[in-house]
Amino acid sequence: MKVNIYYGGRGLLDDPTLYVVGKMEEVLKELRVTVERYNIFEKKNSISTLPNTFKDADGIILATTVEWLGIGGYMQQFLDACWLYGDKDKIKTLYMQPIVMSTTYGEREGELTLENAWEILGGLPCSGICGYVDDLVSFEMNHEYSVIIEKKAENLYRTISQKLRGLPNSNQAVKQTVLRTQQMELTPQESEQLSQYVSDDSYVKKQKEDIEELTSLFRDRLDEKKADEQLEYIIDLQSHFVPQEDFSATYLFMIDEKKKPLVVEVHGEDLSCRYGQEENPDIYARLSPQVMDNIVAGRMTFQRAFMSGQMTAKGNFKTLRTLDQIFVFES
């Protein structure tokens, strides 16, 4: 039989939980139980990998100290890791005994928190230990307290060896009907590998750098795309412009899917093209991007697009016909 102890306190010399854990270890070893302790504060950079140590354990002890409020951050992180990366099939077979000692108020609430968490994870909770300690020396010297701790250790050994089961509880019902792990369905091996990646600072740092690089790349591409959209059709019009003497007109093209209309102003040899608004254009035309693409590619003229109904227009039709004279696209 093997029992793992996970200590979630800060490792202070006057921590009463350390005394209780030490007594538990002594009794379990006398019963020929292999005991391995994990001080979570020493493994704070690899907490996500600690659930992987459940593999060869028959039972575990979760021990922590209430110093001011609740079970403390280290133990909470460990429970989070069990939920995210732990092998749920293995946890279902694991007995857990909570040990919560307090130097302030809240030891009973802490013990209940650990029991509830383990039940929701699917594990098997055992009767735990909780107590308030004002004077550590007096607590250690009290023989009756030592007997209680020894009996609790023996009870854990008996529960594991006899595989005692408890009655059904509502926590499991809540888990099955309400709680859902917001993650992909992973095999135990994939969960273990993921937990190792999460605990690897260099890997996480590299992932963040890669994300930042990709974000920058897509931002640049988006900026380039916006710049291209702002010049779309303008370069084609400018490169195929054929000035007409004493001719002036303003054309406004409403191109579908474009946020702003394309405004083309012609004044003799001067040409101005921009995306924007124009209050009183001589010609107001509406067409699709596909039709405009065909025109600038030389596969269709403005007049043909208008006559076929692929482009609608309002204004002076003589000015409209002049479009094919001032913009000559050859296929």
Per-position pLDDT tens, the chain of length 331: 999 999 999 999 999 999 999 999 999 999 999 999 999 999 988 899 999 999 999 999 999 999 998 999 999 999 999 999 999 999 999 999 999 999 999 999 999 999 999 999 999 999 999 999 999 999 999 999 999 999 999 999 999 999 988 787 777 666 666 655 555 566 767 666 666 666 666 666 777 777 888 877 777 666 555 544 567 889 889 999 999 988 999 999 999 988 889 999 999 999 999 998 888 899 999 999 999 999 999 999 999 999 999 999 999 888 999 999 999 987 5
Instruction: Identify residue 39 by its one-letter amino acid code.
Output: N
Tens digits of residue pLDDT in 137-192: 999 999 999 999 999 999 999 999 999 887 877 776 666 666 555 555 667 676 66
User: Rounded to 5 degrees, what are φ and ψ at 266?
Assistant: -120, 125
40 bridge partner residues? none
Distance separating alpha carbons of residues 122 and 77, to the nearest angstrom: 18
Do 120 and 151 share a structural domain?
A: yes
What backbone phi and psi angles, to 5 degrees, belong to 152? -65, -40
**Alpha-carbon gap, residue 47 to 7, rounded angstroms:** 12
> What are the backbone dihedrals phi and psi of residue 166, each rounded to the nearest 5 degrees, phi first?
-105, 175
110 in Cβ contact with 66 (< 8 Å): yes
Is residue 127 a part of any domain in this protein? yes
The amino acid at residue 317 is: F
- DSSP character at residue 134: S
Q: Is residue 156 part of a domain?
A: yes
Q: What is the pLDDT of residue 186?
A: 67
Cα distance between residue 211 and residue 215, in whole Å: 6
Burial class of residue 305, CB neighbours in 10 A (0-12, 13-18, 19+): buried
Specify whether 170 is located in the same domain as 282: no
pLDDT of residue 119: 93
Which of 159, 190, 221 is the endpoint of a domain? 190
DSSP string, 203-240: HHHHHHHHHHHHHHHHHHHHHHHHHHHHHTTHHHHHHT
Q: What is the pTM of this model?
A: 0.61
- Whether 246 and 296 map to the same domain: the answer is yes
Token pair listed for 255 = 């191109």
The dihedral over CA atoms of 231, 232, 237, 238, expressed in degrees to the nearest 10, equals 20
Residue-range definition of the domain harbouring residue 19 = 2-190
Q: How far apart are CA 195 and CA 183, in angstroms?
A: 13
- Both 171 and 309 in one domain: the answer is no
153 and 21 within one domain: yes
Report pLDDT for 228.
46
Whether 162 and 287 map to the same domain: the answer is no
Residues 214 and 264 in one domain: no
Q: Are residues 21 and 125 in the same domain?
A: yes
pLDDT single digits (tens) 259-300: 889 999 999 999 999 998 888 899 999 999 999 999 999 999
Taking alpha carbons only, the member of 52, 116, 61, 111 closest to residue 81 is 52
Mean pLDDT of the chain: 88
CATH number, domain containing residue 316: 3.30.1050.10
Q: Give me the residue label for tokens 């269709």.
A: 300
241's CB contacts (< 8 A; 6+ apart) are 271, 326, 327
Residue 331: inside a domain, yes or no? no
| Domain C-terminal end among 181, 212, 229 | 229
- CA dihedral (69, 74, 79, 81) positive or negative: positive
Q: Is residue 22 in a domain?
A: yes
Are the C-beta atoms of residues 188 and 89 closer than 8 Å to each other?
Answer: yes
**What CATH number should be reported for the domain holding residue 22?**
3.40.50.360
Please tell me the predicted confidence (pLDDT) of residue 213: 81
Q: Return the ∠ at Cα 227 (arms to 224 and 228), rounded to 5°.
A: 85
Is residue 170 included in any domain, yes or no? yes
